[in-house]
Structure 1
Amino acid sequence: MGVTIPALLAARSGCPAFTMAGGRPQLKRSFSIIPCFVFVESVLLGIVVLLAYRLEFTDTFPVHTQGFFCYDSTYAKPYPGPEAASRAPPALIYALVTAGPTLTILLGELARAFFPAPPSAIPVIGERTIVSGACCRFSPPLRRLVRFLGVYSFGLFTTTIFANAGQVVTGNPTPHFLSVCRPNYTALGCPPPSPDRPGPNRFVTDQGACAGSPSLVAAARRAFPCKDAALCAYAVAYTAMYVTLVFRVKGSRLVKPSLCLALLCPAFLVGVVRVAEYRNHWSDVLAGFLTGAAIATFLVTCVVHNFQSRPPSGRRLSPWEDLGQTPTMDSRLEKNPRPAGRIRHRHGSPHPSRRTAPTVAT
């Protein structure tokens, strides 16, 4: 038989990255993987980090000064204190969105490397060990780990950029804006509310209307979208899709949904805390959730391709195409399955390429 059983299993599992001669993985030589990582991907990641730092901690992009109505109750909530005094401080949020997905992906890839799936569960296209130069080898588990964590880091800083850019462009006030702004209503010509005028009666656009601390006023103008909600939604969406698409649990249909719902709870609580402490409006939190979830969905589906390998042609093979590439074995019983006799064309003439079997007298 010209085809060995291991080769047949490898072909049916759709994994051309391994040759069954001795069970050793095929090697693919590439001299561009290290220069591409150093001079392209690292540079792009550095640019994204620098831009996020500029938007967050410098005045390179000034915040838009949005006007407000006198005595507007929407922005007159009490000042909740600095961000570090919150029940969900930024340090805790940054630690969770960094460590949680990283540990989940690390454990998932280690489990995938040390406890491989059966041949029937292997993806259609596998990955090869890439050799660059004479010393550097990049195994499939290492490449997957670097790819998924690198894309996650890129998306984390991209989410920060989107959230900060939205805050800088809109300049939406927080619910406690007037408490830190402390405008002089008398100098601004704002009469106090009366039964005849119960609501706000004048829109203030003066740049120097606020007499409070400039740093607090600038921070109170960055409400839309909520950056903490965007980061939590991005981390939760990315991790939940990784758990759903990569983890394989036999015998239970509720393990993965339970893990995903457990990941959603902290993100939802962060949004509730931001609203309850008068740091953001509900619209700010919802916009942050949509921003983070959209970025995570785009990166998972279009960049890392649902955490699976891509076929060389850029598309997945269908099950019928996969079966069509399986090596076949000729059998004498399958060469002429029809009964012995003369095979004729539509017009009745015998087929020129086939011979009739001799009749045997009994």
Structure 2
Amino acid sequence: MPAADASAPIRPFTVNIPQEEIAGLRRRIATTRWPDRETVNDRSQGIQLANLQEIVRYWGTGYDWRKAEVKLNALPQFMTEIDGLDIHFIHVRSKHANALPLIMTHGWPGSVFELLNTVGPLTNPTAHGGSPEDAFDLVLPSMPGYGFSGKPTGTGWNPDRIARAWAELMERLGYTYYVAQGGDWGAPISSAMARYAPRGLLGIHINLPATIPPEIAAVLASGGLAPAGLSEKERAAFNSLDTFYNKYRAYAAMMGSRPQTIGYPLTDSPAGLAAWMYDYNNGEPERLLSKDEMLDDVTLYWLTNSATTSARLYWETMGQSVVLAAAQRTSEISLPVAITVFPEEVYRAPETWARRAYRNLIYFNEVDKGGHFAAWEEPEIFSAELRAAFRPLRPSH
């Protein structure tokens, strides 16, 4: 990593991982100690041994981190200190006049890598089926404890604090107005920004909205049956959430209660880290992303030693589920909110719940492809959704 002028408010940044760190990763991969094979013929016990072995063997022999560095270094990257912590961010200005500034936040087990495929469509829409009036300036920060951003040494870095840091970042970059977007952790961070409405924020778009009503949340927490009177879409959402809570969210319970404990094996074992991240949302990374795409992300976590520091965000917010309307205090948001529902997400938010949760919902759309990592998996659809969602908020309107 480069030496930089620490006194400068915003310092250029370039990724350059020492070769010995990459060699060390490969040595650890080569000496992986594997468990016995699962005792079922599906992934109901987790990521299957043969599948993970194939991924990890490729990681240790065929995967090339330097290509990932090229992707990152092809974009303008910077560091700036906010609230005592270095924040890494990518900042791409559009060539089109009057581009709308947009800050987008990644999630877990993601990183800025999950947003890179949208840089072209969002900053240069004329090359991707859009018009010059659809252009965005992009700001893509790495959350505290993630990637190349600094690692908090104390408590308190929750979505509200990150939201205030992002508002400071946009002000520091000279933007007098802007919009915000997020999925996964980016959704509560963007929602927190909308809640306290910093100067210049025009509205937000989220793709993992907090729409679950309190009475539905209570039934899910108790393990009860779906309430009577739900619509077809509401019942489907309830069933998806019930499955997720009962089968697929052990990672969140562990990181939310014992991030330090789970951090030891994730920090010591590349295969363990890969399995932990690949298992998200019933194996969505394995199902919907290429090996190289996801390994860029897993390798970033490994090389920055951020498995534990990223997990602490769950500890900071234990009991504040990102999909519960009450936990995310959606009733306090008065700024415009836009929502896109992707079919492979943890749950498909019903429009009826969304309108209850967000009083100023200006855009709601369900698309037919994409999942939790929507920007990564379907960048053209994702970018088209942002163009449509934010069009009414552009100052020219």
- Rg: which structure is higher? 1
Q: Could you say whether these structures have the same fold, taking a TM-score greater than 0.5 normalized by the shorter chain as the test?
A: no
Normalising by structure 2, report the TM-score.
0.18
Normalising by structure 1, report the TM-score.
0.19
Which is bigger in relative contact order (C-alpha 8 A, separation at least 6)? 1
